[in-house]
Amino acid sequence: MILKRIDLFLPSVEKHELLNYFTNNFYDALLRLGVNCRRLESERLNPLPFLKQIFDDAPECTLSFNGLLPDAEGRFFCDMLKMPHVSYLVSSPHHFFSLTNTSLNVIACSDRLYAQIYKSMGHNNTLFLPHGVDPNLHHHEEVSKKYDVLFIDNGVNWQSIQQEWEKKYPENIAKAMAEAADETFKKEGISSVQALASSLQRHAGEVKLRDKEEFNLSVMLDEVEDYLRSKNTCCIAEALKGCNCHVIGSKGSLRSWQQQFGSNKSFTFEEKENLSSVIIAMRKSKIIINGSPVVKDGTDDYTFMAMVSGAAVMTSNNRYLQEHFKDGEELIYYSQTGLSSLAEKVKMLLADDGARTSLAMKGKNSVLHHHTWDHRAATLIKEIAPIIEQIKK
């Protein structure tokens, strides 16, 4: 079976800029592959035209980034259509455990650890499908590399987040969350979901991933991941105090930044207005640091965008990336527990224009040859066909 018809569902542009951007990229990639597809958007107050389009010209499956959660009565749209739906996840997996309640949901995860979680829950219609990048993103006018180092802010308030756990939760639960956060931060090859589930079992007895009677695990995991991202940003900033860094982030977050690091004249700050402002800042940067303490065996939102921007990119150890990009030639890796050497690596790259440019170009070329949305679309078409065939049986 060869997949020939697929419809993509658009999210709300105002609320989900990145999801909309990915949807459009993936749609364009499918068209370039010769797949007959449409982008459809439902109006909340007038869904009939949307439904008519689907029923009048039914695709073999539908797709949306972050998937379609069930309604208040637990019903899935794919069950109503009796049609497979590919839920291509961008956000963390714990928000979408309910997708496993129907076999018509095909879950595509951008991290292998996330795919393992869904398969361990018995959902075999799960794929590992890393994110890609728009192959046209590198077609832009050359701009001056005015920033030595760029990184995207994810908050610096990790200590206050942990203090809130101690107020909000019983002592054993707060301790379990702190242990899970520490293990996830320091240990490679383990997700926050796995770490928290194990830690809760040690401190609070048997806990299932979807158990909501005593604990709201989704909220707890959000809090653990906010802690991890915030601690990661803060640790990088501490390691780079002697380097000229440009930080881009939300208005509220930058206020915290300026309170904690504002006296450091080597840091400059920029409010992130939208995705375009991040991409422009990347193009103006010599080095981009984009590590993730959450995504450890796959791709996050920005790594490939950074690599095609023309900057040399540094990222935390990541098994998937390490399989595809050579350390010191296409990417530079660092350990979350070895950030003390980060400043030295940055200074060496800044001092050697030739080595930095070579690394940036080799990384960019590798991404464009193997990791665009066209490559991801081709992989999906190949891997989804037998799943759909099995579903139809």
pLDDT averaged over consecutive 10-residue blocks of the chain (393 residues)?
Answer: 87 78 96 95 82 91 95 94 96 95 97 96 96 89 89 86 91 92 94 93 64 71 94 90 88 74 81 89 95 94 94 96 97 89 93 96 97 97 91 80
Contact 251, 204 (CB under 8 A): no
Q: From edge to edge, which strands make up the β-sheet containing 267-271?
A: 267-271, 245-249, 147-152, 285-289, 312-316, 332-334
- Judge if 172 and 285 occupy the same domain: yes
82 is a domain residue: yes
- Judge if 193 and 176 occupy the same domain: yes
- Judge if 178 and 36 occupy the same domain: no
Number of domains in the chain: 2
- Judge if 274 and 160 occupy the same domain: yes
- Judge if 345 and 272 occupy the same domain: yes
Tell me whether strands 126-128 and 85-88 are parallel, antiparallel or unpaired: unpaired
How is the chain split among helix, strand and coil, in percent rounded to 5?
50, 15, 35
76 is a domain residue: yes
182 is a domain residue: yes
- Judge if 251 and 361 occupy the same domain: yes
What is the per-residue pLDDT for 47?
82
137 is a domain residue: no
- Judge if 125 and 170 occupy the same domain: no
359 is a domain residue: yes
What is the per-residue pLDDT for 202?
87
What is the per-residue pLDDT for 11?
87
State phi, psi for 106 to the nearest 5 degrees. -100, 115
- Judge if 196 and 123 occupy the same domain: no
What is the per-residue pLDDT for 13?
56
140 is a domain residue: no
Q: Coil, helix or strand for 172?
A: helix
- Judge if 68 and 177 occupy the same domain: no
What is the per-residue pLDDT for 214?
59
Quick one: tokens of 76? 């899935």
CA 207 to chain centre: 26
Query: Which helix (H) or strand (E) segment is 268 a member of?
Result: strand 267-271
17 is a domain residue: yes
80: domain range?
A: 5-132+373-392
Question: CATH code at 68?
Answer: 3.40.50.2000
- Judge if 359 and 384 occupy the same domain: no
What is the per-residue pLDDT for 264?
75
- Judge if 97 and 201 occupy the same domain: no
Model confidence, pTM: 0.93
196 is a domain residue: yes
- Judge if 387 and 365 occupy the same domain: no
Residues 6+ apart with CB under 8 A from 108: 86, 87, 88, 89, 126, 127, 128, 129, 380
Measured over the CA atoms of residue 6, residue 90, residue 305 and residue 332, the dihedral's sign is: negative
